[in-house]
Amino acid sequence: MSADLAKKNRFARFVKRLKRSKPDYFLISAFIGLTLLAVFMLLPLVFIVNHAFKPINELFMYPPRFLAEHPTLFNFRQLFLNAQKMSIPFSRYFFNSVFTTGVTVAAAVLISAMAAYAFSKHKFPGSSVFFGLIIISLMFAPEAVVIPRFILISELGIMNTYFSHIWPLVAMPVGVFLMRQFIDQIPNALIEAAKIDGAKEWKIFYRIVLPVCMPAVATVAILAFQMSWSQTETSNYYVQVESLKTLPYYVATLTGGLANGVVGQGIAAAASLMIFLPNLIIFLLFQRQVLMTMAHSGIK
Amino acid sequence: MARVLFQHINKQYPGEHRLSVNDFHLEVADGEFLVLVGPSGCGKSTLLRMLAGLEDISEGEIYIGDRMVNYVSSKDRNISMVFQNYALYPHMSVYENIAFGLRLRKMAKAEIHERVIRAAKVLEIESYLNKLPSQMSGGQRQRVALGRAIVREPEVFLMDEPLSNLDAKLRVQMREEIGKLYRRLNTTMIYVTHDQVEAMTMGTRIVVMKGGIIQQVASPKEIYNKPVNMFVASFIGSPPMNFVSGKIVITQGQCYFETKRYVLLIPEGRRRLLQERYIGKKIIMGVRAENILYQSEDLEQEKHKHAKIETMVNIREHMGSDAYLYLHNKDHRLVMRVDPWTEHEEGQMLTVSPDMERVHFFDPETEAVIC
């Protein structure tokens, strides 16, 4: 009871103070402005979710509506029915995506972290040159390197294998950069203490460095996941065998030329939502850690 | 337990001309508590880090026991180290922090548990064993760091300014704790600090360093009472020793220390120690704050009759148990300790007299002590 009362009192005091003090117009306008911006940013999400539940006639309504008026699961049913009709089942695409994304995320995180640890805490000849190269590689648009990449993949002989989904994404300059910013913050004494305690390099890395930069690990994992999960590039260029292609590629074909343009819209909407949802879930799970990393690295 | 021998150690960082540690040669006896003290950048931490294996040795050899350890990795040197910023693993509980080193050495679980509990008991941190370092205060964290160091039962303890991050009160308390720990373990300890109070109170032997070079190695008492040069004299002791420059003159068979404003009689005993070649030469006199007398009954004594200085009280600093007067005599400044109950007002004239039996004389060129 007393806690309740105290809460009430505090609230009353707060209201009193609010009434007494002069209104801070900057704060109020910033609050309103940011709220509007947040709502605006939210619109696409609302649209994607609602679109998947719209019946066919609503999908093509003009002007388009954000909210589904008569929500239905028809599109999802169509997605699975359509998938069953094809020679390659939907589940195969799904498995390909989950598998390659899983391996990509794990490998990208591990390799970025190891590289970042070396750049941050070890001195070796040419380290600044190599780090410079990594930063420069951040500036290339993916389209610019499609052909060299294709040649590389083909020369490596990993065309038409799962590797061709994984390798191109494992080298992740952003990951190295973010992790390095984070590892830079770890005091050297921590690593030296572990050395004196008897840890060798690998032990220091996975018992001390990795756990301490968990927020950065989570951030890089999310970025790697988003890159890998929704990309169609590798399926388009490096894989000709249908059974090795990934889910986003399949979704893209639904709306593409060959498929039924009208029914395809509904299926595509449902499939888009299914591709989008894991992104959202993972981001919601790790968002605090991501914000921490961004604050550390000075990137916004 | 082991002795530590530094054999003519030099350290030069790449790209630097100056030696960070210059021909450091010293044997630390088994079970000794050695304190390395000096201003920042004097090479004391570098030396400790070389002993720990965290820094390469440019020249010379380091022995722990009878083993040369230049090329032995940190983990095999059987040492443990306490860092200034504690360096606790933030993601591990206190228990895991202390046990980490033992786990890496593949010790049996029961033994690990027993040792951790024993260390925790000694340091009175048993009730925090499940907490994370971030949930603890600075003093508690430093205890955990000490626990991590003692649990491995190393041959040598290294401490790199372990108390610098603590507030004044805790520092005094932890100073006592580390002293107790040392007496209990009786292991060789090498302790680095820039705080002369820590050095004076904790060490069995003190090494004063400056610019990578050893200035003096001696017991705390000897360092304080018989500094070998002006640097040691001013670095050890608070407030620092007063220095007055003047000249040695002989008039009517008596030896005097003469400045522009006053003349002080040098007693016969001191005079004999002063070498003849300083007579008529410039010299620097050093006198500690507690060796300046001011009470009239003292000044009446024979030996003070001819050693008086007229000064003005500039500032009075009350410390509680002591009070310090900052005295002015035109261009000369002196700090002296007085009884805190005496009343001295700022601006008041005061006649004082240094205890000429206890003053030190330094060569102005080499800054080395003469007597």
* Amino acid B93: pLDDT: 94
Chain B nearest-CA distance from A255, in A, is 49
Domain count within chain A: 2
Using the beta-carbon criterion (under 8 Å), do A195 and B148 form an inter-chain contact?
no
Which residues does residue B156 pair with via DSSP β-bridges, in sequence order?
B79, B188
The percent of residues above 90 in pLDDT, for chain A, comes to 43
Quick check: B230 pLDDT over 70? yes
- Same-domain pairing of A38 and A187: no
pLDDT band for A22, please (50, 70, 90 cuts).
confident
Q: Let me know if residue A221 belongs to a domain.
A: yes
Q: For residue B102, what is the nearest residue in chain A, using CA coordinates?
A: A197
What's the pLDDT score for residue A299?
A: 47
Q: At A155, is the pLDDT very low, low, confident or very high (cuts 50, 70, 90)?
A: very high
Residues 6+ apart with CB under 8 A from A62: none
Distance from CA of A192 to the nearest CA of B (A): 7
pLDDT computed for residue A262 by the predictor: 67
> How would residue A136 be classed by pLDDT, with cut points 50, 70 and 90?
very high
- pLDDT grade, residue A81 (50/70/90)? confident
Instruction: Tell me, yes or no, whether A108 lies in a domain.
Output: yes
Residues of B within 8 A of A199 (CB-CB) are 75, 100, 104
Residues 49-108 of B with CB under 8 A from A: 52-54, 73-75, 79-81, 83-85, 87-91, 100-101, 104-105
Cβ contact A190:A212 at 8 Å: yes
In a domain, A111, yes or no: yes
The residue ranges of DSSP E strands in A194-239, in sequence order, are none
Q: Which domain holds residue A88?
A: 77-297
Q: Quick check: A196 and B79 CB within 8 A?
A: yes
Looking at the partner chain, which of A198, A211, A212 has a beta carbon nearest the beta carbon of B75? A198
**Mean residue pLDDT across chain B:** 91
Contact of B329 with B310, CB cutoff 8 Å = yes
Q: Which of B54, B89, B101 sits opposite A192 (nearest CB)?
A: B54
Residues A218 and A94 in one domain: yes
The residue of chain A with its CA nearest to that of B153 is A197
The kind and range of the H/E element at B11 are strand B4-11
**Cis geometry, peptide bond prior to residue B239 (ω within 30 degrees of 0):** yes
Q: What is the mean pLDDT of residues B90-99?
A: 94
Q: Are residues A163 and A29 in the same domain?
A: no
Cβ-Cβ contacts under 8 Å, B54 against chain A: 192, 195-196
Predicted local distance difference test score (pLDDT) of residue B148: 94
Could you tell me the pLDDT band of residue B276, with boundaries at 50, 70 and 90? Answer: confident
> Which pLDDT belongs to residue B302?
78
pLDDT number for residue B118: 94
Whether A72 is in a domain gets the answer no
Residues A268, A198 within the same domain: yes
User: What's the one-letter identity of residue A188?
Assistant: N
Q: Do B89 and A189 touch (CB under 8 A)?
A: no
- Nearest Cβ partner for A195 among B74, B85, B89: B74
Rounded to 5°, the CA angle B201-B203-B216 comes to 110
Q: Closest Cα partner for B228 from B362, B40, B43, B365?
A: B362
In this predicted structure, the answer to whether residue B69 has a pLDDT above a threshold of 90 is yes
Supply the DSSP string of B310-328, one letter for each residue. EEEEEEEEE-SS-EEEEEE
The answer to whether residue A273 is domain-embedded is yes
Cα angle vertex A113, ends A112, A118, to 5°?
Answer: 100
In the block, residue with structure tokens 């009239």: B296
From chain A, the residues in CB contact with B89 under 8 A are: 190, 193-194, 208, 212
**Residues A212, A215, A218, A223, Cα dihedral to 10°:** -130
Closest partner CB to B83 (pick from A189, A211, A214): A189
Torsion of CA A131, A133, A136, A142, to 10 degrees: -120
Same domain for A121 and A212? Answer: yes
Judging contacts by C-beta atoms under 8 Å, the chain B residues touching residue A189 are 83-85, 87
Q: What is the largest CA-CA distance in chain A?
A: 75
What's the pLDDT at A18?
A: 65
Task: Give residue B216's Cα distance to chain centre.
Answer: 11
Structural domains of chain B, ranges and CATH numbers in brackets: 4-235 (3.40.50.300), 242-362 (2.40.50.140)
Q: Name the residue of chain A whose CA is nearest to B149's CA.
A: A197
Residue B264 parent element (H or E): strand B263-265
For residues A11 and A147, membership in a common domain is answered with no
Q: Which two tokens stand for residue B24?
A: 């450091």
Q: Quick check: A196 and B91 CB within 8 A? A: no
Mean pLDDT across the stretch A33-40?
95
| Shared-domain flag, residues A143 and A36 | no
Share of chain B above pLDDT 90, in %: 69
C-beta atoms of A196 and B89 within 8 A: no
pLDDT band for A256, please (50, 70, 90 cuts).
low
State the best of A121, A124, A197 to mutate against chain B, taking most chain B CBs within 10 Å: A197
Asked if the C-beta of A124 comes within 8 angstroms of chain B's C-beta atoms, the answer is: no
Between B73, B85, B105, which is nearest A189 by CB? B85
Tell me whether residue A70 is in a domain: no
Read off the pLDDT of residues B46-57 as tens digits, 9 standing for 90 and up.
999 999 999 999
CA distance B117 to B295: 57
Task: Look at residue B371 in the predicted model and tell me its pLDDT.
Answer: 83
Query: Do A286 and A262 form a contact (C-beta atoms < 8 A)?
Result: no
Beta bridge partners of B318: B323
> With bands split at pLDDT 50, 70 and 90, how would you rate the model's confidence at B205?
very high
What pLDDT, in 10s, does the model give residues B293-343? 888 777 888 777 788 888 999 999 988 899 999 998 877 889 999 998 888
Q: Which residues of A8-41 are buried (b: 16+ CB within 10 A; e: fewer)?
A: eeeeeeeeeeeeeeeeeeeeeeeeeeeeeeeeee
Q: In terms of domains, do A19 and A165 share one?
A: no
pLDDT over 70 (residue B29): yes
CATH of the domain at A125: 1.10.3720.10
Compute the count of residue pairs across chains A and B with CB atoms less than 8 Å apart: 59
Residues A151 and A5 in one domain: no
Instruction: Indicate if A130 and A271 belong to the same structural domain.
Output: yes
Q: How many CB atoms neighbour CB B316 within 10 A?
A: 17
pLDDT at position A129 over 60: yes
- Give the pLDDT of residue A4: 62
Q: Which two tokens stand for residue A117?
A: 């640890």
Report if residue A288 sits inside a domain: yes
Between A193, A198, A199, which is nearest B87 by CB? A193
Residues A41 and A94 in one domain: no
Question: Does a structural domain hold residue A66?
Answer: no
Report the pLDDT value the prediction gives residue B274, as an integer from 0 to 100.
Answer: 79
- Domain co-membership, A30 together with A108: no
For B210, residues 6+ apart whose C-beta sits below 8 A from its C-beta are B38, B39, B42, B231, B235
